[in-house]
Chain A
Amino acid sequence: MTRQEALDGIVQLLKTFNTVDSSKLEGITEETDFIADLDVASTDIINIIARAESEFDLEFDDDDVDELGTKVKDTIDLILKSVHP
């Protein structure tokens, strides 16, 4: 899986969250911050990560999620780490 494929997957996943403003997803990049740019509640980030785990058919480590940053690139790193440990 490439970083672009992971990013595309995250965007598709975010489109299914009714708490995320879909108009903000058009210019999403790796530097986009879930909280600052997409107005995602910090407690909802865990929901997004749980959904990503399911959508990508991966298993994330609890400690890795504990240390996860709030930018999209952090989630991409987590996905790729799980795909290519």
Chain B
Amino acid sequence: MRLSDFNIEQVLPHGPSKRLIDRILWHSPKLGSIGVYTPTPSDVKDHFGIFRGADQIECLAQASVVPLLAYNESHKLNLSFEDYFKEFVILGAGVGKVVMHHYLKEGEQFVVLGKITFYRFRQMIVDGKIFKVPDSIDVYNYFSTYPEESFKNLHLSPEFKLVSDFEDLVGRALRRSQLL
């Protein structure tokens, strides 16, 4: 099974108020993953009706390093997601370059692509992009046949509008017993 076969509550321990991904649409364990989200009224409250840039970074983490580390590490340890998250917590450890090209408003669906560039010793680094989804495209249908070759270049059809670019988002899985 891939991450896209699970409900989001199973693969993300966040929630529900801090969960910023509705579903994982596409997943390749060695390459990365794609999530989808639509900002709610509470996401844009007190922020001019605009989805925050900081939340876009969180979205990338929730669409990529968190579920990807959980998937790979739980398989390695032969644990269910539930048991894995009882033992480990996945934290953001840094982000390199972030460029915002456009903005997102309430109700504007977007997809988040996170491509693995490093994975070793419970630490994963991804590069990513966020694209606004055009009204004419059903993302669930679009990504059901999305090819790995396109993902390697983080390429989508031109109707998708690039919102932001990310380099070197770092996530690290820590045993809960290591937390102070």
Contacts and interface: CB of A to CB of B under 8 A. Distances in A.
A and B part of one assembly: yes
Interface of A: 41-43, 46-47, 49-50, 60, 62, 65-66
B73 to A, nearest CB: 8
A71 B122 CA distance: 20
B94 A41 contact: yes
Across the A-B interface, give the 9 residue pairs with the lowest CB-CB distance, nearest first. A65-B121, A50-B120, A46-B123, A43-B170, A43-B93, A43-B94, A46-B121, A62-B121, A62-B122
B162 to A, nearest CB: 26
Contacts of A49: 120-121
A71 to B, nearest CB: 18
Nearest to B76: A62
A49 B118 CA distance: 13
B178 interface: yes
A50 B93 CA distance: 17
B84 to A, nearest CB: 13
The number of chain B residues touching the other chain, given as a range, is: 10 to 19
Chain B at the A interface: SS class: strand
B93 A47 contact: no
Contacts of B120: 46, 49-50
Contacts of A42: 93
A62 B172 CA distance: 12
Q: Please indicate which of the listed interface residues A41, A47, A62 has the most CB atoms of chain B within 10 Å of its own CB.
A: A62
A66 B88 CA distance: 12
A50 B122 CA distance: 11
B31 interface: no
Given A43-B93, A46-B120, A50-B121, 16 more contacts: A41-B94, A43-B94, A43-B123, A43-B125, A43-B172, A46-B123, A46-B172, A47-B118, A49-B120, A50-B120, A62-B121, A62-B122, A65-B121, A65-B122, A66-B121, A66-B174
24 contacts: A41-B94, A43-B93, A43-B94, A43-B123, A43-B125, A43-B170, A43-B172, A46-B120, A46-B121, A46-B123, A46-B172, A47-B118, A49-B120, A49-B121, A50-B118, A50-B120, A50-B121, A60-B121, A62-B121, A62-B122, A65-B121, A65-B122, A66-B121, A66-B178
Contact of A66 (B118, B125, B170, B175): B175
A49 B121 CA distance: 9
Contacts of B93: 42-43
A49 B123 CA distance: 12
A62 B170 CA distance: 17
